[in-house]
Amino acid sequence: MKIAVVALGKIGLPLAVQFAETGHEVVGVDVNADVVATVNRGEEPFPGEAHLAEKLAELVPAGRLRATTDYADAVPGADAVVVVVPLFVDEASAEPDFGWMDSATTSIGEHLTRGTLVSYETTLPVGTTRSRWKPMLERISGMTEGTDFHLVFSPERVLTGRVFADLRKYPKLIGGLSDAGAAAARVFYESVLEFDERPDLDRPNGVWDLGSVEAAELAKLAETTYRDVNIGLANQFGRFAAAHGIDIYSVIEASNSQPYSHIHRPGIAVGGHCIPVYPRLYLWTDPDATVVRAAREANTAMPAYTVGLAGGALGGLEGRTVVVLGAAYRGGVKETAFSGVFPTVAALTQAGATVLVHDPLYTADELAGYGFTAYELGTPVDAAIIQADHREYADLTPADLPGIGVLVDGRRITEPEAWVGVDRIVVGAGRRSD
């Protein structure tokens, strides 16, 4: 098969590699010429994805995978076009911003030929595939979906950093506009993916046809909104527990020892371009979903609450020097989309603190690009707030942060024994040391 993968980002590039590894001819299209050039050298454009570097170094020189900025070089004659261009939510209006996706869809439509399966994998509001992509592709290509080409939605559910393992582990959900489209998608995904056995599932692991594009769209929004709502609940429990001298982590461990409880972890922020965003895509079509809205509010309140913990312990933040540890939205990922670093720095600055930011994955110049002043370990500070659970932060000691009086651990990754003599506060557990 000839396959085009549209967007060689943190998801699209590993997908292109996966498809090439299963013996197909794969061309990746990206508008970023630097990304294309890097891939064509057989190198990875971003760090952190397990096995990506070695797979690229093998597949690209062997001519099994290449990249281009030119849709005309990738889409015509393709058996399948897989689209993973990001969709954004406009911060001010809370409306989805389809800009990048519309542009990609226009380019695909201009070069689409008969017999191609087009599969959108980007997370979408329910109804988008049918009401937006179908008419757009038909108008631009001059062809008819269902007879000339097939259009399906198949959400991508993998976690960055372990994409290749997750592709084997999770059922591949699909939804078509017709039975024939769904059948074509099944044939395609069964030929490019291999699935681990999952005795824990009621159905065999593999391609799961959900019967409609809308059901497949909702499945992705449901699982991610569930995560946000669950974390929102954990954050409310955590705030209550800390106020009552209870360690929520031991409570959650106890509650989750029974099979019907899966309470997530409280923390300083819910970041990334997925979990904080998808509930808003869901709310866009179901504005009455009060549970979803309340969880969003509970989670967005956490950075200011966490800064308040530091301020309370220091007796005010005016004139204090505070370092925020972690610019990334979670540990081990070089990504700042909706990261808790932004509201945390804003709240500290507003309270009059001098704010520094540290992240092992970012250079001082990169941090300056966000308007942050970089912090070097070993420089005196009054307080530190752990924002991202980078592994390195578990090993920090007060000697790394000379003068530190207060540590607010927003991710509960430090051990109390290492912080004797420092006022250590864990979000969700307060000052308890057990």
Ligand X SMILES: CC(=O)N[C@H]1[C@@H](OP(=O)(O)OP(=O)(O)OC[C@H]2O[C@@H](n3ccc(=O)[nH]c3=O)[C@H](O)[C@@H]2O)O[C@H](C(=O)O)[C@@H](O)[C@@H]1O
Ligand Y SMILES: NC(=O)C1=CN([C@@H]2O[C@H](COP(=O)(O)OP(=O)(O)OC[C@H]3O[C@@H](n4cnc5c(N)ncnc54)[C@H](O)[C@@H]3O)[C@@H](O)[C@H]2O)C=CC1
Check if the beta carbon of residue 121 is closer than 8 Å to that of residue 84.
yes
In whole angstroms, the minimum distance from the beta carbon of 266 to ligand Y comes to 21
Q: Which span sits near ligand Y by CB under 6 A: 81-89, 135-143, 300-308, 339-347?
A: 81-89
Check if the beta carbon of residue 430 is closer than 8 Å to that of residue 410.
no
In whole angstroms, the minimum distance from the beta carbon of 187 to ligand Y comes to 23
Dist CA 385 CA 359 (whole Å)? 12
Taking residues 86 to 125 in sequence order and writing x for each that binds ligand Y by CB under 6 A, - otherwise, the string is: xx------------x--xx-----------------xx--
Question: Is 412 an interacting residue with respect to ligand X (CB under 6 A)?
Answer: no
In whole angstroms, the minimum distance from the beta carbon of 80 to ligand Y comes to 16
Check if the beta carbon of residue 265 is closer than 8 Å to that of residue 252.
yes
Dist CA 153 CA 212 (whole Å)? 9
Question: Is 84 an interacting residue with respect to ligand Y (CB under 6 A)?
Answer: yes
Q: Which residues on neighbouring strands pair with residue 82, listed in sequence order? A: 5, 119
Q: Write the single-letter amino acid at 71.
A: Y
Q: Which residue has the tokens 């929004």?
A: 221
105 contacts which partner out of ligand X, ligand Y, none, CB within 5 to 8 A by kind? none
Find the binder of ligand Y among 3, 4, 12, 248 (CB under 6 A): 12
Find the binder of ligand X among 227, 334, 431, 432 (CB under 6 A): 227
Check if the beta carbon of residue 158 is closer than 8 Å to that of residue 170.
yes
109 or 331: CB nearest ligand X? 331
Find the binder of ligand X among 24, 111, 132, 157 (CB under 6 A): 157
In whole angstroms, the minimum distance from the beta carbon of 263 to ligand X comes to 9
Question: Is 311 an interacting residue with respect to ligand X (CB under 6 A)?
Answer: no
Relative orientation angle of helices 213-243 and 248-255, to the nearest 10 degrees: 130
Q: Write the single-letter amino acid at 124.
A: L
In whole angstroms, the minimum distance from the beta carbon of 231 to ligand X comes to 4
Dist CA 318 CA 304 (whole Å)? 15
In whole angstroms, the minimum distance from the beta carbon of 272 to ligand X comes to 3
Number of H helices, E strands in the chain: 15, 15
Question: Is 306 an interacting residue with respect to ligand X (CB under 6 A)?
Answer: no
Q: Which residues on neighbouring strands pair with residue 229, listed in sequence order? A: none
Task: Look up residue 395 and give its DSSP letter.
Answer: G
Question: Is 7 an interacting residue with respect to ligand Y (CB under 6 A)?
Answer: yes
334 or 432: CB nearest ligand X? 334
Q: Rule CB under 6 A: which residues touch ligand Y?
A: 6-12, 29-32, 35, 84-87, 100, 103-104, 122-123, 156, 158, 160, 274
